[in-house]
Chains A and B, each alone.
Chain A
Amino acid sequence: MIPVCRLVDLPAGESVRLDTTPPVAVFNADGELFAIDDTCSHQDASLSEGWLEGCLVECPLHAASFDLRTGRPTCLPARKPVRTHEVHVADGMIHVRLAADAGATGEGSAA
Chain B
Amino acid sequence: MRAITVVGASLAGLYAARELRAQGFDGRLTVVGAEPHQPYDRPPLSKDFLMGAGDEGELGQLDQLALTDPEEMAELRAEWILGTRARALDVRGRTVVLDDGRTLASDGVVVATGARARRLPGPPLAGVHTLRGLDDALALRAELTRGPRRVVVIGGGFIGAETASSCVALGHDVTVVEAAPLPLAAQLGPELAPVCAGLHARGGARLLTGVGVAGLVGAGSGALSAVRAVELADGRSLPADVVVVGIGATPNTGWLAGSSLAVADGILCDDGCATALPQVVAVGDVARVGGVRAEHWTSATEQPRVAVRNLLAGRTVEAARPLPYFWSDQYGSRIQFAGRRGDGDTVRILEGSPEALGEGGFLAVYERAGRTTAALAVDRARSFMKVRRGLAAQENQAHQVNQAKEYV
Q: Which residues of A contact B (CB under 8 A)?
A: 43-46, 49-51, 58, 60-62, 76-77, 79
Contact = CB atoms under 8 A, between A and B. Distances in A.
Interface stretch (B64-72, B137-145, B273-281): B64-72
B384 interface: yes
B382 A60 contact: yes
B382 A49 contact: yes
A79 B72 contact: yes
A51 B385 contact: yes
Contact of A49 (B301, B329, B381, B389): B381
Contacts of A44: 48, 329
Nearest to A58: B385
Contacts of A76: 15, 18, 301
Contacts, number: 35
A62 B384 contact: no
Given A43-B44, A76-B15, A79-B68, 10 more contacts: A44-B48, A45-B381, A49-B381, A49-B382, A50-B385, A60-B382, A61-B327, A77-B301, A79-B69, A79-B72
Contacts of B381: 45-46, 49, 60-61
B69 A49 contact: no
- Interchain residue pairs A-B with the least CB separation, the first 5: A60-B381, A49-B382, A49-B381, A60-B385, A51-B385
Nearest to B389: A51
Contacts of A60: 381-382, 384-385
A62 B297 contact: yes
Interface in B311-366: 327, 329, 334, 336
A61 to B, nearest CB: 6
B297 to A, nearest CB: 7
B385 A49 contact: yes
15 contacts: A43-B43, A43-B44, A44-B48, A44-B329, A46-B381, A49-B381, A50-B385, A61-B327, A61-B381, A62-B297, A76-B15, A76-B18, A76-B301, A77-B41, A77-B301
